[in-house]
Structure formats: C-alpha cells, structure tokens
Structure 1
C-alpha cells in the first residue's frame, strides 16, 4: 500500500496539477495538522520518495510489514520505542534470513531518521538497535567459467534475442533493468568503441563498452532495426523483466547448471564480477564496470576471491625470485 501510493503519483507534476487531498498530504501539509492516524503513513510516503525503483519497492514492503506489527500491538508507529523494534527483530529471526532482517531494520531506521530530520520525532527508536551480521559473500547463485560458456551456448541455441541478452549481461555485468531499459538509439560509437548508454540506479547515464562478441550478438538480433527498445516482445513492446527471469532459468536447465531453479538475471552479474577477477581485471575496474559505489559490494559478488590459486603469495614469490 505504501509503495502503490507513491508509484501512482504523477511523475512530472505541472502547474495544472490538481491539489487533491492525497497530494496535499504527500507534499504540502504540515504533518502535525493531519489526523493522528494518518501521520505515520504520510511520513512513510514522504520518506520513500527519497528512493527509486527496487529499493523503494523493497523499503515500502519493509515498512508495511513494520506497520502491520505495530497495528497488531495497537501502537502508533510514531509512538514506538526501542523495545518494540528489538521485539520485532526477534520476531523476524524465526521467519526471515539475516540479510532480510538487516534490510528491514535499515528501512525502519531510515524512516525514523527521516522523521527526526523533519521535526516529527525528537529521537529515533531504531537508532541503537543491533542488526544481524550478514555474510561477506553474496548468496546469489553464480556460475564458473565452464558453466558460463555452456549457458552462452544454450542462449545461442534458443534464439537471437536470448543470445543478445545473455551475452550483454555476462560480458558487461549489467543489471537486468539497465539492459531491458535500453533503446536502440542508445547504441553508438565513441573513440573507436561500440558503446551502449544505459541508465544506472539513481538515474545516472553511463556508457558501457560492447566487445566484438556482444556487438555481433546485438546486431544479429536487431537485424538493422533502428528504433524502439533494444529488447522487445513479439508485439514490439519492451520485454518485461519477469519474462527474462523465466528465460534465464530455462536456459540454466538447458545448459545443465546445477540448481538452475535458483538462477536469476542477477546471477549473470555475479558471474561477470567473478570471471572478470579470475581473468585478472583489477578490482577497481570491475567495480567501475559494475557501477558499484563501494568496492566491498564488488568483493561480495566475487565468488572466487577465496580461490587459493589467486593468493598473492604466488605472485610475490615469482616477483622476488627474478
């Protein structure tokens, strides 16, 4: 409910926008002037405007679950105390993974920090709540080099569209939203490189290099088409992520990937990071290519970072023996 309340707001409000009661609550009203029972949700809607895409959707679900917990206790979320937040965390421990609990507590803490910053609250009940420790290694299923090659072959056997998408995801490590959000007019050349301009999380536009294999796969699929989305359905509409998700699992099964039922488009992004590091690409270059703000995120994606073959002792021994 919190997410849908925002997703259906006008995206570009102009002078002619009617100031309805719901719009007034979202943008204009002093929260203190709203009925008591509306304040928490109005504050949550304002807080969620700070985020976009999947982060906003996830935080919206997290806050909705927290609000449901508060409702079961018959307590206004704006009257919650630390004991309630700690109790909620203990409640989740038997139902959710540490990573999910950590994200939910992060959403709750962010919501209350926002409330303090806006002067709605004097203190945050989540300020000192401890979050569970999470693994330094991502739990998303990735592929090794042999599996990635088999996966590419399965994509080529399936269709030119599948081959183009998988080659792009594996070779450039794009998020599925970045790949499916691209248009044909985003393809161009720059200083001798074939590039695709994509929209990163947060709306930033970035150029990614298409190597010869990716460029050829895209050209074969597009077949000289000059406009519209890069990846389209049979009716010409933009390909939806849910359809791509199903394709990835189908290709995984065809390629004989173990636990292919756990594959997702994000698995190819993890595979990109792991194989790029195994190929000797410096961490900072992989980080930049993946669009990660923090190198620790890139390291979590690198499933081969504990590979003893990559231990610096070997390189140092060779260096010192010269």
Structure 2
C-alpha cells in the first residue's frame, strides 16, 4: 500500500507513468527522506537541472539510459560555475549524479521504472585525499576569533557567537544557520546543542565554555534589545535585526570580512567550511582519536574525516616515532 503523500502510479499500456509530472515525485522522494532543508533544496535543484536537460532534448526521463546520463555528466563537467567562472569540480558533478541516482532508486521502488540509469553511468573519479577548501592554521583561527571579539555594533555579539560555533564545533554552515533557540540544552553537566546533520541524522554536540559564553552574551543582548527575558526569546538561534534567520550567504561574507580584518592572506578564498577543516586538523594534531573526530563531524566514512585533516602527512606524526619511543622505554 502506497503512502498518501506519494503520487499514484498509472499503469496504462503496461508501463507506469508520471501523470502529475516528475517534480511531484521529487517532492514525494524528498518527504520520504530525513534531510535538512538546505539539502532538500540542493537535491531539488539537482533533479530539476536533469529534468530541464531532458526537456531540452525531448527525452522522457523515465526512458533515459546510462548513455543519456553520461552525456549529461560530460556536459556538467564543461559547465562554468556562476560564482567561480571555472568548470564544475568533479565533486560537484558527482554530488549531482548521486542525488539523481537516489531519485531514480525511489522510482524503481515505486515500480515506475525497471532500473536506475545512473547506476551504469560513468561518474567522475574523486580523489578522497584532496579537498579544494582553503584551510586555516590554529593561529589564523585565533586571529579570526580575535577580530570577532574586537567588533562593535548591534550585530557584533551575534557574529562572535556564530564564529565561535564554527571554530569550536566545526559545524557545517547549513547546520549553523538551521539552529533554533530550543535546540540549546544541558546534558549531564554539559551545555549542549542538538540539530539535524547531513543525511538527516540527529546530532548533539557539547558547547565549550568559550562558545557557551559567546552564545549567552549574544542572547542577553538580543533579549535586552527586544525588551524581554532571555527565556522568552523564540525562533532561530542566529537572527537578523528583523528576527529572520541568518542565512548561509551572510555567514560566508562574515568569515571573509573578519579574515580580511585579521590579515589572513587567503581571506578572499575562505569559507565557513575552512573553519570545519581547521577543527579536524587541530583536533587530530592535539591527539584526539580519529573515531572521536569522525563522530564529532558527523562523517559516515573515516576517509572523509582524514581528508579534512590537513596535517595528516606531517612526518612529526609518523607512528614510527611512537614505536621507537616505546622500544626505548622497554630497554630502559
């Protein structure tokens, strides 16, 4: 029995059809998955891009083959990004095809099609040991936090809280801006925050004393501006002057502006994700086990966490030194 929010399939002429249009199935597919709103929007754009490509060639998406998907992928690889002016990266193309594959798998489960055409397509090869994100050294993160601390003005306290959450927790920008006030809490003596991570997985993280202080100072200032007690504040954790949710583009601009103030050379190329990379690198350099960093970052695959660790090839961390030191201790 199909769920009521899934469009009904027509089996006229012995083959299922999409009487209401493919985008209706897209919405049913998205409702069927635990995803953040940002991820839903990205997947929706990915599928819409494929459907537009099919429409321009009068190709029925239900009859597309892996050859059609290959042609689409090669065209994507030659497409210039609107912001960078450079061809889309293999990771971007792979992500678009991954979303498309999931969409088709949903149609297979509903028996709208016999097979997934993306499964046989030639997807871009990804270097799991490489990331295009510009990283930050611990000293540069300190300088960024200092620049935020030195700011004045009505948005200064909010900006300090945002940068502290990015630096100390290594949150994704989508996770940061999706936080609501009721996501804050306390568990076994820890100040904490709960949110939905990538893949729709519920997550919880501890707030460091410094981050908790920055968040409390911001909420106190916000409550005073609204003329209410902190406990009566509602809505998004990070809000604009009008009470709207702070968006990811504002956070991008904030990181780059503060980096420029801090004198960081790569300021124009930084992003909130740079702080996420710095979190992983510093945690590993300070001896935090890989599995703990992986859990903190919400990675399903430890290889992803290793890619974030910019210092992983540093010979100072070669385990040969640990083995040698242990042997030396045994010999007394």
Same fold (TM over 0.5): yes
Aligned partner of 2:101 among 109, 114, 130: 109
Conserved 8 A contact 1:178-1:198: yes
Choose which of 119, 123, 129 in structure 2 pairs with 1:127: 119
Counterpart residue number, 1:8: none
Give how far 1:131 is off.
1.1
Partner of 1:64: 48
1:277-316 matches, cutoff 5 A: 277-316=284-323
Deviation, 1:280, is 1.0
Q: Is the 8 A contact 1:299 1:305 kept in 2?
A: yes
The unaligned stretches of length 5 or more in structure 1 are: 1-23
Q: Partner residue of 2:89? A: 97
2:242 match: 235
Provide closer, same or farther for how the CA distance between residues 139 and 150 of structure 1 changes in structure 2, counting only shifts above 3 A: same
Partner of 1:150: 143
Query: Are the equivalent residues in 2 in contact too, given 1:273–1:302 (CA < 8 A)?
Result: yes
Contact 1:31–1:43, Cα closer than 8 Å, also in 2:
no
**Alpha-carbon displacement from aligned partner over 1:39-59 (angstroms, at most 9, x marks no partner):** 433333333333432322222
User: Separation in 2 of the partners of 1:206 and 1:107?
Assistant: 22
Query: Structure 1 210/44 Cα, relative in aligned 2: closer, same or farther at 3 Å?
Result: closer
Aligned position for 1:164: 161
1:73 partnered with 2:51 = no
The whole-number CA distance in structure 2 between the counterparts of 1:106 and 1:184 is 33
The alignment status of 1:47 with 2:40, answered yes or no, reads no
Q: Matches of 1:108 and 1:235 in 2, distance apart? A: 37
**Residues 95-143 of structure 1: CA distance to partner in whole angstroms, max 9, x if unpaired?**
2221122112222222222222211111222222121111212222221
SS in 2 for 1:133: coil
Q: Contact conserved, 2:240 with 2:246, CA < 8 A, in 1?
A: yes
Once the two structures are overlaid, the 10-residue window that deviates more, 193-202 or 166-175, is 193-202
Aligned residue for 1:127, secondary structure, equals: helix
The question of whether the paired residues in 2 share the 8 Å contact of 1:31 and 1:42 is answered with no
Other-structure match for 1:196: 193
Higher RCO by CA contacts (8 Å cutoff, separation 6 or greater): 2
**1:144 Cα offset (Å):** 0.9
Q: Distance in 2 between matches of 1:35 and 1:197?
A: 41
Distance 1:80 1:294 in 2: 31
**Count of aligned pairs between the two proteins:** 299
Q: Deviations over 1:221-254 (max 9, x none)?
A: 2227333243222234433333222211111111
1:268 corresponds to which of 249, 272, 275: 275
In the alignment, what sits opposite 2:6?
A: 27
SS at match of 2:28: helix
Shift of 1:153: 0.7
For 1:88 and 1:150, locate their aligned partners in 2 and report how far apart those are by CA, in whole Å. Answer: 44
* Residue 223 of structure 2: aligned partner: none
Match of 1:221 among 218, 222, 225: 218
SS at match of 1:280: coil
- 1:118 to 1:189, Cα distance in 2 relative to 1, 3 A: closer
Aligned equivalents of 1:67 and 1:184: distance in 2?
38
What's the Cα RMSD here?
Answer: 2.5
Distance 2:157 2:309 in 1: 29
For residue 178 of structure 1, report the CA deviation from its aligned partner. Answer: 3.0
Alignment correspondent of 1:118: 110
Q: Distance in 1 between matches of 2:315 and 2:150?
A: 35
| Per-residue deviation, 1:258 | 2.5
Shift in CA distance, 100/205, structure 1 to aligned 2, threshold 3 Å: closer
Q: 2:135·2:278 contact (CA, 8 Å) conserved in 1?
A: yes
Which residue of structure 2 lines up, in the alignment, with residue 182 of structure 1? 179
